[in-house]
Amino acid sequence: MRQNRVVDLRLIKLLPCLVTVALGAQAGEFVVLSNGFRIHADSHAADGPLIRLQTSQGVIEIQAASVAQFEQEEYTAPALTPATVAPVAAPAISIALTPQELVTRAALHAGLPPAIVRSIARAESGYREDAVSPKGAIGLMQLMPKTALDLQADPRDPEQNAEAGARYLRDLLLKYENDPHQVSKAVAAYNAGPAAVDKYHGVPPYPETIQYVNRVLKQYVKEQGKQKAPASN
């Protein structure tokens, strides 16, 4: 009987997204990891072998040995101008984003390539905001209630669901950042949990998880192809 196999990741390289979102009125910094990954942080503090990063999404802990350098973000203070009476602005029109747009924006906020986050969302829920799995996972990124609680997100709110799911995937990628199978392990952990991946030192031998990882990675390759297509025309 033919066994399911995980797609070979030697041909797939997860490129860090260098798009960052400026948050706050003060300059922060960029933490450059040895693998080229860049994380925007407000500040950092050393604690033995760990570096704690204070970000807009909370505190992230990474191994100090994985940090190549810190780059200070340039900040230009706004020029002071005399107070003027502002004209009455027209009421803001709220434009609802599609599920795909919510996921893409969440990926950029998390500093991840949108292609990998969209591939997860497609496999998890098919972009259905009201999706609920038999095990109780909720929404676009199929967050379990406890995971959503840990990420301080309401899983039934599509925007919070997408943002929390992208942050969770980022945390998993950082967990396996020095592993040659970083992406497959992170994707498997999103499906089966980090404990299962650590127990088997790789993708767990669960048929559901093996199929899930293959499906996500194949979709990731397609998403990358879509991004490159316009440039080749």
177-224 confidence digits (pLDDT tens): 989 999 999 999 999 999 999 999 999 999 999 999 999 999 999 988
Output the pLDDT for position 67: 82
**Contacting residues for 14 by C-beta, under 8 A, at least 6 apart:** 113, 116, 173, 182, 183
Q: Where in the chain are the domains?
A: 29-72, 98-227
Confidence category of residue 80, pLDDT binned at 50, 70, 90: low
- Compute the distance between CA of residue 172 and CA of residue 186 in angstroms, rounded to an integer: 5
- Compute the distance between CA of residue 154 and CA of residue 168 in angstroms, rounded to an integer: 14
User: pLDDT per residue over 46-78, tens digit each?
Assistant: 888 888 877 766 667 777 887 888 888 775 555
- Compute the distance between CA of residue 52 and CA of residue 45 in angstroms, rounded to an integer: 5
Cβ neighbours, 10 Å, residue 177: 17
To the query of whether residue 208 is one of the catalytic residues in this protein, the response is no
Top-tier CATH class for 98-227 = mainly alpha
Output the pLDDT for position 20: 34
Q: Which of 29, 124, 129, 208 is catalytic?
A: 124
Under DSSP, is residue 195 helix (H, G, I), strand (E, B) or coil? helix
Distances (CA, A) of 169 to 56, 114, 189, 190: 16, 12, 9, 7
Contact 104, 110 (CB under 8 A): no
Q: At what angle do helices 99-110 and 114-125 cross, to 10 degrees?
A: 130
